Structure 1
């Protein structure tokens, strides 16, 4: 499942690299421009590629949620999410699926291994979120909550989404992992290489998305306080 918003230059290669492993692709068009929409229409004519089109942009989280619901509607038990910008190594798809088969009750979460192309500001900026996630889970089980390469077990994920409204934009990836952990799911981290293409397109909006992420960490912190006895009990039990 690939959420797409104006990545017309990268998405074709991402789809080809995923399809190389015999995996069907569901493209979720998150209100893209006509140029990108045209590329997606062409890709959807290929065997094993289908398209879900959202009429207006809902943000990455909104597109992922729509894709997860569509995957469940089609009868799937799990969905692998990979981003459309070409940063992720699609050759790791079989490894993610192998881990999901071995641990069907867990989230298989990508742990990025960055090369020299990563902007240093982004690399170091991630640690603020890492620290808050470790605080809000009282655990180091979620090593990196910001990687958009992961496998979701659909039943517990959709049950959570039916119960709680989760951020629809760049706050989604982190918030859903923390809340799934709160619900008792294990998070299994899998190393995966990540590169930043020189011509890559980022839709991160510094002011808006940092405000959303700050608000998310605040919500999660107060949510953690109410769950503190349960989280501590789980920590002791797992030891």
Structure 2
């Protein structure tokens, strides 16, 4: 994928009345210890899957190629030449899926924290309202780090301010179902962050576009030997900058958002 924000094909040229065809997109960065188990748990659902290697390097390449060879009938490996960020990886996989005729993509993390048994519930909700963005709402167990658990509430507050709505109940869960054409169209506008700011940013921008956000509770577990790529200082600064930009964007959209709330 190039260093620009845009991905191809141009989503606006696609017919939006296509039959419902979901697939899976997994952004991957150095989670070679967990990805095999994630793929094994996803296999029974019978969905095509794109693993997007976000420039992980040689250490991960062997594990990914082994999976792609063993599960060649349904797993597709797409490799980025350099690390571009989670958002760029997700949207690169979504572009591959849209080009193959898929209408929706399930984003799921590669580290094994998401409960894949809830996949049918997310898809059922998405199939019933195919123009909506369906997202998981984490139900945490004792494994969640306390600082990350309470830190989410700060993001909840700012997202409610940025949308003038409580419709987005959680914007940070990486287990969700995207309507591909609309999502890629929003991404191509170039206003969504590429890294740890992606999950929240894309959801707020899609809400501003008029996309409904539907929520499904799902269990989230932090593996004891899991690898986190969140960098406390750098990524918190990036998230702060994201919320400042979203607040400015909300200011421009406030009259329309307020009118929409009154109509509801």
TM-score (norm 1): 0.98
Structure 1 residue ranges, 4+ long, deviating more than 6 angstroms after superposition: none
Partner of 2:79: 53
Aligned equivalents of 1:59, 1:89: Cα separation in 2: 23
Partner of 2:50: 26
Q: Return 197-206 or 27-36, whichever deviates more.
A: 27-36
Partner of 1:9: 33
For residue 33 of structure 1, report the CA deviation from its aligned partner.
2.7
Secondary structure at the counterpart of residue 29 of structure 1: strand
Q: Return 159-168 or 203-212, whichever deviates more.
A: 159-168
Mark the runs of 5 or more structure 1 residues left unpaired by the alignment. Answer: none
For residue 165 of structure 1, report the CA deviation from its aligned partner.
3.0
Aligned equivalents of 1:18, 1:234: Cα separation in 2: 39
Aligned equivalents of 1:32, 1:20: Cα separation in 2: 27
Q: Does 1:35 align with 2:59?
A: yes
Partners of 1:19 and 1:25 within 8 A in 2: no
Give the alignment's Cα RMSD to 1 decimal.
0.8
Q: Does 1:210 align with 2:226?
A: no
Aligned residue among 116, 132, 137 for 1:90: 116
Aligned equivalents of 2:243, 2:225: Cα separation in 1: 31
Aligned residue among 209, 229, 242 for 1:183: 209
For residue 225 of structure 1, report the CA deviation from its aligned partner.
0.5
Aligned equivalents of 1:24, 1:72: Cα separation in 2: 12
Mark the runs of 5 or more structure 2 residues left unpaired by the alignment. Answer: 1-24
For residue 97 of structure 1, report the CA deviation from its aligned partner.
1.1
Partner of 1:199: 225
Partner of 2:153: 127
- 1:169-223, Cα deviation, whole Å (9 max, x unpaired): 0000000000000000000001000001100000001111111100000000010
